């Protein structure tokens, strides 16, 4: 199937709109329903300053709610060592992992998606090969937030429209 | 027939407990149900404590005997002799049988047990029965497990002087989600609520994490990461895990497991001693049961002795004039079981590969389970990991239940002023989960060793023009063909708008939440259409009940490929 038809059709999903980031009118709908999940989606969307400000009002660490890159998801510098990446991952896991969140009586669902996002960032950055590819894509695209490695699943969930996400990232890159 | 000994907790009882728990949180107990032995432990406020039964045993034999009016299990029952378990009236090895259909090789291998295991080889649950007063009393692994759990629960409640409701149970890595539902059902029958089902080696990993935490307390959150390889082999199952531990966080990198264990070593050895033993035993008469019991005990004894001696003399009179008299040495034992040891080796290699961990990076090698005393296994594991010695500050038989009790305390929200419960396990999926597509192929959507919670999706399409229905059949496992995997359930997507084949996009999304609940979501869109063609379906799995292995077959026979799906090729 042609990538063009794939991507064009996928824009009909709310999930894709979030990723696409160009049709903001769809967002407030999901915001009303599940405000915290939307902040998870921020990982995968290029957001305007206004969007960021609005979202940062939610009670979540800023680097998680509106990260500019996977490094920001983990709250580390671009040149971070492998050790620092792992330590950051564990530090965040101790806060965001649903097991911990359950014990501190936070909402399971939200932290689950936050954790998935953190894990995905960790998976990419802790693998030297994946990290290299990612770093290159950061450099080339100059629009890091729509990185192909950003988490598609959390985006889908965040949109409040479960089951639909964008296509595989390869097709996304054809945009 | 007798009234079942298990109780189902009434609603009033449950709510009563929940009220009291708000003031004083109930600590979940940890239970390790082994194929051969079982133990129970709890966090007592400052450390984990293993509970003992009235005969002062921490390790209790996992069996239930039906010979008396009320069935009784290894927790309370006093065995006059080992042979009593082998009289035909007792059911054991239920962990090997639970959640398996009668086409499963493990079920077939269980036919030589002294109780009755019959198969029709059509994918239904096997017929299992105990011999009571010359009558076969049928039962199920769930019932046997429930009776056993009732005894465990009563014992714990007596000692702790409070009702027990929440439990953390350890399970083999290779258990399918369908098998997990059977375990949960057995617990429900015993009035227990499953808080967590924890793969055995991950429970051990949690204990290891706690021990590491105690030794390097100053380096919280950062510190040096320790990689541990955990190898667990009991009577029924073999599991391997690789964990990365630092600052009390035990991150499971990969799991691998298989239904091989001491029972297989035993059966191979019995076959070696008495080559035609399966035929001799096939009709399950009283005399055969008795002689098989004698051979079993003698062989088991010999295997135990071979862990410390290099050879052992076996002399056993099987009755009816037949006798086994043989000197067996350790090499013979290792040769007879060579295939089993090879499988163990492969599991370790696979686990290392999946975890992307280099052998040199392994800090500690932990060997647990009843088989961990076998010299061949110890050497094998140390050989692969290039280690001169094993991690030795862990009790191989108690490690799993210890970890389960820790998890029970952590998951119950208990905190410890000294930070001993400052622990977290990051689990992975032990098996891949996917659907049937592209003919008879298994297409994984969530691959094995994916960190949980997880959410993944794939796009499929129709195989025929104007196909309006599609069957989503969900399987779990590692086989390429669907029949090599465990069926978890199926549902039909109906109302797909008529379109040429390959045009409708059918998105199948799988979601595993923090409590390991699997949901499958399916939606359909047509290119150029602004809205999903039909409402998104969301189904919690597994949905299959007992013996539905044959249902899938019947489905495919009835519908052929009319409801099939195929994967949408990724553009590169």
**Does B22 lie at the interface with A, CB-CB under 8 angstroms?**
no
Asked if A67 and A46 touch (Cβ cutoff 8 Å), the reply is: no
Q: Which chain B residue has its CA at the smallest distance from A113's CA? A: B453
Question: What mean pLDDT comes out for the span B240-245?
Answer: 96
Residues in B closer than 8 angstroms to A153, CB to CB, are 454-457, 509
Mutate to test the interface with B, among A99, A152, A157, A158 (most CBs of B within 10 A): A99
The answer to whether the Cβ–Cβ distance between A1 and B568 falls below 8 Å is yes
C-beta atoms surrounding A26 within 10 Å: 17
Handedness of CA A103, A105, A110, A111 (dihedral sign): negative
- pLDDT above 50 for B213: yes
Residues in B closer than 8 angstroms to A91, CB to CB, are 221-222
Q: How far is CA B343 from the centre of its chain?
A: 17
pLDDT in tens, A148-172: 444 444 443 333 333 333 333 333 3
Residues in A closer than 8 angstroms to B568, CB to CB, are 1
Residue among A9, A86, A112 whose CB faces B528 most closely: A9
Shortest Cα distance from A86 to chain B (angstroms)?
8
pLDDT category at B257 given cuts 50, 70, 90 is very high
CA–CA–CA angle A30, A113, B173 (5° rounding): 140
Secondary structure element (H or E) that encloses residue B185, with its range: helix B177-189
Model pLDDT, residue B444: 97
pLDDT in tens, B51-74: 999 888 999 999 999 987 788 888
First to last CA, chain B: 65
Say how many CA atoms lie within 13 Å of B470 toward its Cβ: 35
How many whole angstroms separate alpha carbon B473 and alpha carbon B436?
Answer: 6
Select the more confidently predicted residue: B189 or B13.
B189
Phi, psi of B488 (to 5 degrees): -105, -25
pLDDT in tens, B105-123: 999 999 989 999 999 988 8
Minimum mean pLDDT range among A26-30, B112-116, B154-158: A26-30
Question: What mean pLDDT comes out for the span A15-33?
Answer: 32
Handedness of CA A133, A134, A138, A141 (dihedral sign): positive
How many whole angstroms separate alpha carbon A45 and alpha carbon A21?
Answer: 6
Model pLDDT, residue B2: 45
The answer to whether the Cβ–Cβ distance between B527 and A174 falls below 8 Å is no
Model pLDDT, residue A110: 75
Model pLDDT, residue A65: 53
Percent of chain A at pLDDT > 90 equals 17
How many whole angstroms separate alpha carbon B567 and alpha carbon B438?
Answer: 7
Residues in B closer than 8 angstroms to A116, CB to CB, are 453-455
pLDDT in tens, B283-325: 788 888 888 889 999 999 999 999 999 999 999 998 878 899 9
Model pLDDT, residue B210: 93
- pLDDT above 80 for B501: yes
Model pLDDT, residue B25: 66
Q: Which chain A residues in 16-45 lie under 8 Å from chain B, judged by CB atoms?
A: none
Q: Which single residue is written with the structure tokens 């996002």? A: A117
Sequence-distant (6+) residues with CB within 8 A of B329 are B306, B310, B311, B312
Minimum mean pLDDT range among A59-68, B259-268, B293-302, B527-536: A59-68
pLDDT category at A79 given cuts 50, 70, 90 is confident
Q: Which two three-digit tokens encode residue B543?
A: 């949905």
Question: What mean pLDDT comes out for the span B155-174?
Answer: 95
Say how many CA atoms lie within 13 Å of A110 toward its Cβ: 17
- Answer whether 0.90 is exceeded by the pTM: no
């Amino acid at each position: 199937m042609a990538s063009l038809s794939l991507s064009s059709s996928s824009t009909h999903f709310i999930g894709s709109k979030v990723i696409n980031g160009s049709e903001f009118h769809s967002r407030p709908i999901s915001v009303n329903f599940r405000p915290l999940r939307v902040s998870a989606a921020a990982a995968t969307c290029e957001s305007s300053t206004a969007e960021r400000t609005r979202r940062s009002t939610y009670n979540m660490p800023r680097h998680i709610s509106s990260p500019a890159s996977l490094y920001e998801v983990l709250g580390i510098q671009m040149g971070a060592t492998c050790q620092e990446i792992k330590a950051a991952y564990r530090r965040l896991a101790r806060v965001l992992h649903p097991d911990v969140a359950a014990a501190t009586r936070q909402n399971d669902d939200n932290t689950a998606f936050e954790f998935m996002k953190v894990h995905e960032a960790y998976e990419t950055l802790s693998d030297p090969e994946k990290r290299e590819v990612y770093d290159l894509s950061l450099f080339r695209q100059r629009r890091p937030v729509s990185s192909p490695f950003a988490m598609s699943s959390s985006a889908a969930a965040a949109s409040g429209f479960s089951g639909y996400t964008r296509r595989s990232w390869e097709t996304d890159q054809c945009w | 027939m007798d009234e079942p000994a298990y109780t189902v907790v009434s609603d009033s009882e449950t709510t009563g407990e929940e009220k009291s728990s708000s003031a004083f949180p109930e600590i979940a107990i940890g239970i390790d149900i082994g194929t051969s032995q079982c133990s129970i432990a709890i966090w007592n406020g400052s450390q984990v404590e293993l509970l003992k039964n009235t005969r002062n045993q921490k390790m209790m034999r996992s069996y239930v005997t039906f010979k008396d009016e009320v069935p009784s299990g290894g927790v309370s029952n006093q065995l006059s002799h080992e042979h009593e378990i082998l009289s035909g009236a007792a059911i054991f090895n239920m962990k090997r049988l639970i959640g398996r259909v009668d086409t499963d090789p493990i079920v077939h291998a269980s036919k030589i047990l002294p109780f009755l295991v019959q198969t029709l080889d059509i994918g239904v649950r096997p017929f299992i029965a105990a011999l009571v007063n010359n009558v076969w009393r049928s039962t199920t692994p769930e019932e046997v497990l429930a009776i056993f759990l009732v005894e465990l629960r009563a014992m714990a409640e007596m000692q702790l002087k409070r009702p027990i409701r929440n439990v953390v149970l350890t399970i083999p890595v290779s258990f399918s989600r369908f098998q997990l539902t059977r375990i949960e059902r057995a617990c429900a029958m015993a009035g227990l609520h499953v808080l967590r089902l924890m793969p055995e080696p991950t429970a051990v990993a949690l204990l290891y994490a706690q021990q590491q935490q105690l030794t390097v307390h100053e380096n919280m959150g950062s510190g040096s990461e320790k990689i541990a390889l955990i190898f667990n082999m009991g009577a029924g199952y073999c599991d391997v895990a690789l964990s990365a531990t630092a600052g009390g966080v035990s991150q499971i990198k990969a799991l691998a497991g298989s239904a091989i264990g001491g029972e297989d070593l035993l059966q191979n050895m019995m076959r070696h001693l008495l080559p035609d033993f399966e035929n001799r035993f096939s009709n399950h008469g009283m005399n055969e049961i008795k002689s098989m019991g004698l051979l079993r005990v003698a062989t088991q004894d010999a295997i135990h002795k071979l862990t410390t001696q290099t050879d052992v003399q076996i002399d056993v009179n099987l009755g009816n004039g037949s006798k086994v008299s043989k000197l067996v040495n350790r090499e013979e034992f290792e040769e007879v079981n060579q295939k089993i040891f090879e499988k163990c080796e492969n599991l370790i290699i696979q686990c290392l590969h999946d975890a992307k961990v280099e052998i040199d990076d392994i800090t500690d090698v932990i060997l647990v389970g009843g088989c961990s005393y076998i010299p061949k296994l110890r050497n094998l594991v140390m050989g692969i990991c290039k280690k001169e010695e094993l991690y030795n500050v862990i009790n191989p038989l108690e490690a799993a239940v210890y970890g389960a009790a820790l998890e029970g305390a952590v998951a119950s929200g208990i905190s410890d002023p000294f930070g001993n419960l400052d622990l977290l396990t990051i689990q992975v999926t032990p098996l891949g989960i996917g659907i049937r597509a592209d003919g008879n192929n298994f297409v994984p959507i969530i691959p094995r060793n994916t960190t949980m919670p997880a959410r993944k999706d794939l796009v499929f399409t129709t195989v025929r023009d104007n196909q309006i229905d599609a069957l989503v059949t969900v399987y779990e496992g590692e086989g390429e063909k669907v029949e090599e995997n465990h069926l978890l359930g199926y549902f039909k997507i109906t109302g797909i708008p008529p379109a040429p084949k390959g045009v409708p996009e059918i998105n199948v999304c799988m979601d595993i939440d923090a409590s390991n609940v699997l949901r499958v979501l399916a939606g359909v869109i047509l290119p150029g259409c602004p809205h999903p063609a039909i409402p998104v379906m969301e189904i919690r799995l597994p949905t299959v009940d007992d013996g539905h292995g044959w249902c899938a077959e019947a489905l495919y026979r009835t519908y052929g490929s009319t409801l099939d799906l195929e994967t949408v090729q990724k553009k590169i």
